Every structure is written in structure tokens, then in C-alpha cells.
Amino acid sequence: MALAVIVSVLVLIILSLARVNVIIAILAAGLTAGVMNGQSIVDSLDLLVDGMGKQASVALSYILLGAFAVAITHSGITSILVGYLLRVLKDMRTLTVLVIAGVASLSQNVIPVHIAFIPILIPPLLQLFDRMKLDRRAVATALTFGLKAPYIMLPIGFGLLFHETIQESMETNGVTLSIGEIAQSLIIPGSGMIVGLLIAVFVTYRKKREPKESEAGHEIKFGDSLEQLKNTSFTYKHGLTLAAIIVTLFIQAYYENLVLAALAGLILMFIFKVVPFKSGDKVVADGIAMMGTIAFVMLISGGYANVLTETESVSALVDASSKYLGSNQPAIAFVLLLVGLVVTIGIGSSFATIPILAALFVPLCIGAGFSPMATAALIGTAGALGDAGSPASDSTLGPTSGLNADGRHHHIWDTCVPTFIHFNIPLFIFGWFASLML
């Protein structure tokens, strides 16, 4: 049973790196885990399908967000932003990436919209990136940084939900910590992501990169020519679009329901006649083209998580590892983080992984003499590990959905591999160090 997790994740990684479609790769990984745990192919598939329903709301919200993003682009308001950036940033590639990282960071805490801003902001900027010969892998790392680092370190917005999930999961298993203590325990691990971002921006992807050729039949046009963008002026229609965006953000923040927020924004764009009713079919179709893949991936990753949970594969992996470690804290911390990395790469969600990991980690950490804050650091880091770099994570799928709008950005090689290298490696090292220091 313990081996099933490792083998299934290896199947997922190898197939993804071989450029097999990520949906097929996750399906293969889920069926592998089920069969290795004694389930038949049919039973494994049933477990996978049963778990997909848990992600239905997320999948629907992504499709509606895609349609809303296309509607906003149709209004032309994004052309104003692109035109402004063209005038201000010009050929400042490094500053552009850092600005994107800053904007992305606001999406987790100050304006908690998570990935909702990406299909709205990034596609219109693609021609600017190509003009600058900016390496889109740098942009992918900047976006993933903004989607992940703030919720790890700051207990605000999605960060508060993440820290509360850690707190509640630890309390369920007999360890009590305040939100402030949990936030303090994650400062060191989160700092590793800052180091990773700086390496990506100033070292790895600093050089110019020629734009890729678009895949046939995949290109979606956004905006006007660069000269037209520079001269775009604000109109009444743009004001109505801003009103729809503000309403969407308010509904998402107040009701914490992304489906309702995206649907409201899309409806307002038609009511305000920013998008003609006759264009409705095209807007929705383009939205599905942009976000349909991420929606299906989230559905199937929920099924994969269900297979691992129902077959108790994760607990078997931890139990098997702990038998050989005794009370060696450095070795135990290393193995627990490695388990978190493997599990989260497969499941693709740090939030969903935390309760599973806490139930296994807390008894082991207490027995090995780890402090409560060190235990929190291990749980938080192990949950976050793999979120960047996972083919099934919205922290990678979100950036790809925006950067690949014109068919020139590969999900695995241009998003997952760069974010895995620059974020999971420093997260692992800094998290391991924090568990021994706290």
C-alpha cells in the first residue's frame, strides 16, 4: 500500500514530462494507485469518479471565470492597462516580472480572488512579453509565487484559511497553537520562496527568449496592435466593465462563492451591453477554450485524491517510513517533508492535503520530541510542497491558462518544471531547517 503512492506519483510525473496530456496522466496515476492497493480497474475507476464531485464547484467557477475574462477583454479595458505598461515599462523585463509577482501576491490576501485575475490580466499582456522577448517561464514563476507565498506566510485572506486549516487539523489530533504562532512557524519556510523567485528572475530566466510558435488551432487573439494599444482612451463602456469587476470581487469576498461571483460578473456584462447578446455563444466558447482544461484537471485530481484517501495509501506510506527512523529528528523531518511533496504533487492542493498530513504527522512528531511550532512548520511546509510544480495544482494551472492563451506556453515544461525547481527545493530546505530550529 505504501508503495502505491510513490509509484502512482511517478506515473503522473513521467507521463507529464513525456508531454502526455495531464488529464490522461492523472487518470493513469489514479488507476495505478487503486490497482496496486488490490482494487480492480473498475473499482479504481469508481473511486476516482466518486471523488470528482468534490471539485465540481471549482471546475464550474473556472469555466465561468474564463467566460468573464473573455467578456472583459471584449470590452477593451485591458488594452488600457497594456497600453500603460507599454509606455512605462518599455523593455524593462525584470521590473515587469516583479510587478506581476506583486499583483499576484495581492490576490491571496488584500483582494482574495486567487487565480481569477490571471485570465483577465495576462492574455492581453502576451504581445508585450513577446515584444520584450521576455521569458514566459519567469512570468510563470512570478504568478505561482504570488498565488502561494502570501498564504503560506500571512494569516490574511486565503492565508487565514490556510493557517486555520493547520490549526484545526492539529487541534483534532491533540496539539493546540494560536494563529500567530502558526504564522511565525511558517515565516522561515515561506522565505525560501522569496529566494527562489529572486533566483528565477535575476539568474535563471533573465536572458531574452524568442517567442515560441503557436500551436495550430489554439491561438486566441487579444487586443489590438501595439501602436493602437498605446493610444487607447477610457470610455463609458470601460466604466461599466469596471463596475462589473467590482461587483464580482465584492460577491466573491462577501459570499466566498466564486461560481456566484463569476456568474454575476458575466451577467452584468450582458445587461450593461458591454458584450452584445449575439456574442454570448462565442464568449462562453472562448472561455471554455481558455479554462476548460484546468476545470477538468481539477475534477480528476479530486478523484485521484479520493483514491489515495479511501485506500489509506498515504497513512501506509508514513507508517512504513517511521518504522526505520526511531527518534532521529533530522531524518524524520526529511522523510515527512518528502511524503508531503509526493502526496501534494499527486493531489495538487495544499489545503486539501493538510488534514490528511496532520492526522499522520502530529503523533509521529510528538513521539519524536518536536515542539508544537516545529510540528506546525512541518505540516504547513509539507502541505505546500508540491503545490508548485504539480500538474494538477491551480497554482500551476492558473498561470498556464493565461500564458498559453495564444498556444505558446507548455504547462509541464514552461510552468511546472520551473516552479518545482525554484520553489519546492528552497521550500524543502527552509522547512527542514525551521523544523529543527523551532
Tell me, what's the pLDDT at 223?
A: 47
pLDDT at 113 over 70: no
Q: What is the distance between the alpha carbons of residues 188 and 185, in angstroms, rounded to a whole number?
A: 7
pLDDT band at 349, cuts 50/70/90? low
Higher pLDDT pick, 89 / 428 = 428
Average pLDDT of span 176-188: 90
Mean pLDDT value of segment 391-413: 85
Mean pLDDT over each residue of the chain, to the nearest integer: 80
Judged against a pLDDT cut of 80, whether residue 357 lies above it is answered with no
- Per-residue pLDDT tens over the stretch 221-241: 444 555 555 556 677 888 888
Q: What pLDDT, in 10s, does the model give residues 297-340? A: 767 777 877 787 777 766 676 666 666 666 778 888 898 888 77
What does the pLDDT look like over 236-293, one tens digit per residue?
Answer: 888 888 888 888 878 877 776 778 888 888 899 899 888 888 888 888 887 777 677 6
